[in-house]
């Protein structure tokens, strides 16, 4: 109740600060999003027209994603850097496997809607240009919605390099965006039955260079889930370098635990003392 009361007071202060030109309800939303910071809440208010315009644009993109007449403009699409998980073949180091997608198959499966590749290019551009976390969450949610409609939709987005860009920027993303991006990868692996080798290789490289605790923690949790989903993914994960990252992470965490165990407790801090 105390925190809620503080937020209410802050919202009322924001309304007063703007000479009553703002509704209390909107002020409360802005203050909540700004974590109670009045200055930030006021800046968010100034961004509202831009935010509304972006949301309108996202709705247009969403329509294009699901109603495009010529999604790929060809009879089939080659998605490089993918390894179909249901194909029993050796995983040579650096090997590129091409999966041919039949266009008739994409349009006929259960009458599901399929994507407009051009719309996904716009979606990718929006991710690049707009760094607002809330808007980026909507972009990821829209991508995931498109995959849910038809898993093969991911091939069009893959051609844009969208997932690679998202995975490369893990350290700069907030926790909710990291979780969402991992869920996108998880959907592709478990539902589209494919392993995005190229994208995961980039991700593994980023993890080798950046050891932000939250990033590694989220990544490891999901990698373990993917590995447990089906053992056939293990060779592909080894090729991407993710398995070596997991081993390195476990080693680092073990060293930390070992150092903590050797650190003397402060006087009077013995367990049970």
Sequence-ordered list of residues with C-beta below 8 angstroms from that of 56, at least 6 positions apart, any chain = none
Give the H/E segment covering residue 76: strand 76-79
Q: Are strands 194-196 and 76-79 parallel, antiparallel or unpaired?
A: unpaired
Phi and psi of 35, rounded to 5°? Answer: 65, 30
Sequence-ordered list of residues with C-beta below 8 angstroms from that of 224, at least 6 positions apart, any chain = 246
The two tokens of residue 32 are: 């909540």
Q: Is the pTM of this model over 0.85?
A: no
pLDDT at 114: 54
pLDDT at 262: 65
Domain positions in the chain are 1-49, 68-262
Per-residue pLDDT of the chain (273 residues; tens, 9 = 90+): 566 777 788 888 877 777 666 677 777 877 887 778 888 777 767 666 666 667 777 777 776 666 544 444 333 333 333 444 443 333 333 333 344 444 444 444 444 455 566 677 777 777 877 777 778 888 888 877 777 666 666 766 777 777 888 888 777 777 888 888 888 888 777 776 677 787 888 888 877 766 666 667 777 788 778 878 777 777 888 888 887 877 777 777 677 666 666 666 555 554 444
pLDDT at 73: 37
Sequence-ordered list of residues with C-beta below 8 angstroms from that of 1, at least 6 positions apart, any chain = none
Task: Say how far apart CA 28 and CA 11 lie, in whole Å.
Answer: 5
- CA-nearest of 116, 138, 165, 162 to 56 is 138
pLDDT at 37: 80
DSSP state of 144: H
Our CA angle for 124, 125, 131, nearest 5°, is 95
Q: For tokens 């060293």, what's the residue? A: 255
Phi and psi of 78, rounded to 5°? Answer: -100, 120
Give the H/E segment covering residue 17: helix 2-17
Q: How many CB atoms lie within 10 A of CB 192?
A: 19
Neighbour-count burial of 158, counting CB atoms closer than 10 A to its CB (0-12 exposed, 13-18 middle, 19+ buried)? buried
Q: Confirm if 194 and 82 have CB atoms less than 8 A apart.
A: yes
Q: For tokens 């937020």, what's the residue? A: 7
The two tokens of residue 231 are: 């053992």
Under DSSP, is residue 268 helix (H, G, I), strand (E, B) or coil?
coil
């Amino acid at each position: 109740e105390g925190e809620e009361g503080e937020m209410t007071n802050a919202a009322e202060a924001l309304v007063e600060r703007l000479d009553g030109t703002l509704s209390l309800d909107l002020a409360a939303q802005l203050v909540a999003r700004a974590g109670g910071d009045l200055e930030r809440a006021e800046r968010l208010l100034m961004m509202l027209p831009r935010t509304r315009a972006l949301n309108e644009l996202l709705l247009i993109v969403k329509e294009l994603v699901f109603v495009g007449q010529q999604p790929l403009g060809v009879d089939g699409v080659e998605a490089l850097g993918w390894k179909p998980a249901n194909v029993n073949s050796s995983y040579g180091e650096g090997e590129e496997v091409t999966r041919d997608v039949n266009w008739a198959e994409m349009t006929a499966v259960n009458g599901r809607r399929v994507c407009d590749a051009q719309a996904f290019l716009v979606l990718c551009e929006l991710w690049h240009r707009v760094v607002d976390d809330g808007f980026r969450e909507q972009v990821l949610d829209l991508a995931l919605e498109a995959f849910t409609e038809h898993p093969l939709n991911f091939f069009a987005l893959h051609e844009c390099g969208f997932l690679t860009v998202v995975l490369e920027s893990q350290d700069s993303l907030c926790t909710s965006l990291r979780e969402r991006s991992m869920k996108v990868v998880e959907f592709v692996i478990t539902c589209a039955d494919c392993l995005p080798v190229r994208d995961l290789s980039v991700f593994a490289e980023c993890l080798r260079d950046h050891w932000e605790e939250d990033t590694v923690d989220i990544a490891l949790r999901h990698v373990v889930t993917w590995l447990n989903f089906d053992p056939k993914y293990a060779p592909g994960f080894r090729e991407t370098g993710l398995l070596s990252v997991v081993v390195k992470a476990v080693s680092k965490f073990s060293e930390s635990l070992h150092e903590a165990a050797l650190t003397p407790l402060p006087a009077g801090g013995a367990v049970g003392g």
